[in-house]
């Protein structure tokens, strides 16, 4: 809205309402309701306009489309950056959008520009969290036959990765819950895609509690998986040995509590 109002970039700074710290000469101009229909429509308009503008004159463009290896990355980085939890996201996107509308397709080659560098940093971190989501989500079967997983990434990755699981679990009904970002992806048997919904605090809490309602024999399945993992694992990975740091690097410790193969309570289930 600041761009559409032709407000100079030097006079506008965007921030999340809960993180804002006003300088002496700053005032809050207009806190936005980001999930209202009008805000969503405006966001789509800006995104489509930005995507169209940065692709015009791009030397890699083929007809009206970006090439396969590019996939409109100049614009798609906006979505990746927006999913990041960093408090600087609003202003980074604001600056990048302004730069894209100003420079057009040249933005692709402006890799050393601090505005592009900052947005790339945010987008890369989100991509890293997407990969962590694909690697470390663990589903358990509930008593009603649904597969359920609660996962807490440091970015809003469930909407970006849920269709990865839909492609691999097409014959199953499953729910992937992110309690931190209050979002759930739901999949019905045979569907090609997941339905993604935002949740309030109460529903998020209720669904999290539902995760303990396991199907009969599911604990035994967990124990078998843990035994298999232990049997094929390499020695030297506990905290007193050299392999521990390598393990913690590739398998971040913040995910260990949700990994079935590292659950120490499963030893007596076999």
Give the pLDDT confidence of 37-93 residue by residue, as tens digits: 777 888 888 888 888 888 776 666 655 555 544 545 778 889 999 999 999 999 999
Contact status, residue 34 vs residue 17, Cβ threshold 8 Å: no
Instruction: Take residue 155 and report the two structure tokens written for it.
Output: 């970015």
Q: pLDDT tens for residues 80-136?
A: 999 999 999 999 999 999 999 888 888 888 889 999 999 999 999 999 999 999 999
Query: pTM, whole model, 2 decimals?
Result: 0.83
Contact status, residue 264 vs residue 218, Cβ threshold 8 Å: no
Per-residue pLDDT for 141 more than 90?
yes
Determine the Cα angle at 154 with ends 51 and 93, to 5°: 30
Percent of the chain with pLDDT over 70: 84
CA neighbor of 131 nearest in space, from 252, 248, 244: 252
């Amino acid at each position: 809205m600041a761009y559409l109002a032709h407000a100079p970039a030097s006079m506008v700074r965007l921030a999340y309402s809960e993180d804002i710290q006003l300088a002496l000469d700053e005032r809050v101009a207009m806190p936005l309701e980001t999930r209202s229909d009008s805000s969503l429509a405006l966001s789509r308009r800006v995104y489509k306009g930005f995507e169209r503008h940065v692709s015009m004159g791009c030397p890699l463009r083929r007809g009206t489309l970006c090439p396969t290896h590019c996939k409109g990355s100049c614009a798609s980085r906006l979505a990746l950056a927006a999913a990041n939890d960093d408090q600087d996201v609003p202003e980074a996107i604001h600056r990048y959008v302004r730069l894209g509308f100003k420079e057009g397709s040249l933005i692709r080659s402006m890799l050393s520009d601090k505005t592009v560098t900052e947005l790339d940093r945010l987008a890369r971190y989100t991509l890293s969290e997407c990969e962590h989501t694909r690697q470390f989500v663990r589903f358990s079967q509930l008593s009603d036959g649904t597969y359920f997983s609660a996962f807490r990434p440091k970015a809003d990755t469930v909407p970006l990765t849920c269709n990865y699981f839909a492609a691999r679990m097409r014959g199953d009904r499953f729910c992937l819950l992110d309690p931190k970002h209050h979002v759930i992806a739901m999949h019905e048997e045979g569907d090609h895609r997941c339905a993604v919904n935002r949740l309030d605090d109460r529903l998020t809490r209720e669904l999290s509690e539902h995760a303990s309602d396991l199907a009969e024999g599911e604990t035994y399945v967990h124990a078998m998986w843990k035994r298999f993992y232990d049997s094929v694992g390499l020695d030297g990975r506990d905290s007193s040995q050299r392999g521990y740091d390598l393990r913690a690097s590739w398998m971040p410790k913040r995910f260990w509590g949700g990994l079935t193969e590292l659950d120490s309570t499963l030893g007596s289930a076999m």
